[in-house]
Structure 1
Amino acid sequence: MDRLTSMAVYLKVVDLGSFVAAAEAMQISPQMVSKHIVFLEDRLGATLLSRTTRRQSLTDIGRAFYERCKIVLSEAEAAESLASDMHRHPKGLLRVNAPRSFGGLVLAPFVTRFLALHPEVQVELTLEDRFIDPLEEGVDITIRIGATDNPALVSVPLAPYQLIVSAAPAYLARHGTPETPQELAGHECLIFGERAGHSPCRWSFGEGDDVTDVQVRGRLFSNDWRVLLKAAVEGHGIALGAEVIVGEDLKAGRLVRLLSDYRSPKRPMEALYAAGRKPSAKIIRFVEALVAAFPQQG
């Protein structure tokens, strides 16, 4: 038997004064009421109620147990109420993980806007380029670039991670504007990664069988896109970066999009959270806000 249910039956018996009254109030049989009381007494190894054919009374142990049961059931009800409320209203700590470039340059301001709308939510944002399994690492939501096939995770598609080529007007004024991908080979390019002195860097354009690979060169390499973005805006070279990252600089005229007639690399982006259980309100609201801020096109 369930111990909390048996405690609730016991409280009702004491409060109403009889098994029959308790049975009627809880819509169970008097025999079931008796089974709950016997279950508790057997578990405790003590008599809770002194019963005769005419009346029943609490033993000393029964009276003390009655007072503690009221506290236990009250706390259990409060815990259930809190959990239910948190499923309806965003509340509590939300652990979010994202790739470094996207997380630092794009997701961070999104998070602060989300927090302004939900004052009872806290967000712990960690940035890692390696894949984070939410189930293993205690993360509520992880944002990944690239398709994920894991039946234990719910995948919510976001806007694709579209890479585009851009440069500052000052750079183009000094070095000219490339009109084809092949012309990038003659330009100073800003290279994401740690390839200095190792394998050459290639930028790809096109899809399927129609792909053009261009070997680019440059003197600045970095695994942090914030470094490359600043260098691009200051006119030090041409960058291949996510449209969602360079978008504000494009709108402001600090960067100019290049080679827009050529298809540049695009990768799926998705928000992931654990499947198999109903997500809390904080997860639901955060994912809804992500979809609104980074909607799929078409």
Structure 2
Amino acid sequence: MDQLSAMATFVRAVETGSLSAAARSLPSSLTSVSRQISALEEHFGTRLLLRTTRQLALTDDGRILYERAKSILGEVKEIEAALSRDRHEPSGRIRVSCPILMGRLVIAPLLAEFLRRYPRLSVDLLLVDRAVDMVEEDIHLAIRVGRLRDSQLVARKFADLRMVVCASPTYLARRGVPRMPRDLADHDCLVFSDAPGSAEWRFAESTKADRKIRISGRLWMNSLDALAAAAKEGAGIVRVPSWQVDADIRAGSLRRILTDYEPPPTPLHLVFQPSRLASPKTRAFVDYLVEQWRAADPFGAHAVAAL
């Protein structure tokens, strides 16, 4: 049995929804498709698909194989591209994941020029505020904020990001300027979290009680840019990434406060699967980000490392 060919057939069957549809799209015979999947089930000693008259359903073991097979087949394509004669002309599809706000404001505006520059490349941009499983979700490159857990992935630090606390001049004139983190208890704070309720804001403070301040406000949102817009209108005090409100602070519509208590910066990393770090299309995308972010300095870091 050619395992790669069998896995490709298995993946196609799952994605098309039936053995006959897989046979038509390969193209191949229905008998050949059925034989390859049966051979896979015999090889792994488990049922992979539940066949009905109308559709296919994955077993738990089948779902595991499907995710891993997609990743393996993707890596084979990466190897083929890296060793092909046209490796200086990146081609194919690159899947990138990124936090929602950063993806919308910083990454998405760069994609039109990238696609013009590399006409043989396509981009899937997944905007999610979670750490994706890069193998199971077939992600080539992830942009992650914060400390990384130990893993088999390759990470490159790209910049340092700061969280700042700010409010509009009109709000501060009306309610006063908090001098210490504990003063926030007497203010209207704008809460960002995944679900309504309170949140914690971290500060650098010698007094241990002030390192974490529990915030509960009258206005909650699960969108940082919507909260920043509300803060500019005088709704209260907001805690956001500095790069998000840098222009508003320069324009005077927001004022940065509690600067003496700002916590240390948080690292921004580019994360790769080791097998895809040298991929021409991954390299092209990373080099493009480095070039654009060095020129525009979107995070105010003034030092983007060469990767």
TM-score range, shorter chain: 0.5 to 0.7
Corresponding residue for residue 109 of structure 1: 109
Mapped contact 1:195–1:201 kept (Cα < 8 A): no
Q: Deviations 1:74-113 (Å, cap 9, x if unpaired)?
A: xxxxx97896355323433221111222222333224345
Q: Deviations 1:26-71 (Å, cap 9, x if unpaired)?
A: xxxxxxxxxxxxxxxxxxxxxxxxxxxxxxxxxxxxxxxxxxxxxx
The share of aligned pairs that are identical, in percent, is 36
Q: Deviations 1:112-138 (Å, cap 9, x if unpaired)?
A: 454454444322211112211222211
Which amino acid in the other structure matches residue 188 of structure 2?
Answer: E
Q: Deviations 1:124-177 (Å, cap 9, x if unpaired)?
A: 211112211222211111111223245532211121231111112222232222
Query: C-alpha root-mean-square deviation of aligned residues, in Å?
Result: 3.0
- Describe the shift of the 1:118–1:81 C-alpha distance in structure 2 as closer, same or farther (beyond 3 A): closer
Question: How far apart, CA to CA, are the structure 2 residues paired with 1:242 and 1:230?
Answer: 14
TM-score (norm 1): 0.63
- Describe the shift of the 1:108–1:234 C-alpha distance in structure 2 as closer, same or farther (beyond 3 A): farther
Mapped contact 1:158–1:290 kept (Cα < 8 A): no
Deviation (angstroms), 1:227: 1.9
- Describe the shift of the 1:116–1:162 C-alpha distance in structure 2 as closer, same or farther (beyond 3 A): farther
Deviation (angstroms), 1:203: 1.6
Corresponding residue for residue 254 of structure 1: 253
Give the gaps of 5 or more residues in structure 2: 1-78, 294-298
Q: Deviations 1:207-253 (Å, cap 9, x if unpaired)?
A: 79865333333111122212212211222111111112222322333
Deviation (angstroms), 1:278: 5.3
Give the aligned length. 218
Aligned 1:279-298 pairs, distance under 5 A: 279-292=278-291, 293=293
Question: How far apart, CA to CA, are the structure 2 residues paired with 1:88 and 1:208?
Answer: 54
Mapped contact 2:163–2:241 kept (Cα < 8 A): yes
Question: How far apart, CA to CA, are the structure 1 residues paired with 2:112 and 2:259?
Answer: 32
Mapped contact 1:205–1:264 kept (Cα < 8 A): yes
Higher Cα radius of gyration: 1
Give the gaps of 5 or more residues in structure 1: 1-78
Corresponding residue for residue 243 of structure 1: 242
TM-score (norm 2): 0.61
Which amino acid in the other structure matches residue 160 of structure 2?
Answer: P
Residue 96 of structure 1 aligns to a residue in which SS?
A: strand
Corresponding residue for residue 143 of structure 1: 143
Aligned 1:191-206 pairs, distance under 5 A: 191-194=191-194, 196=196, 198=197, 200-206=198-204
| Structure with a larger share of its residues in strand | 1
Mapped contact 2:82–2:280 kept (Cα < 8 A): no
Question: How far apart, CA to CA, are the structure 2 residues paired with 1:158 and 1:209?
Answer: 32
Question: How far apart, CA to CA, are the structure 2 residues paired with 1:173 and 1:216?
Answer: 21
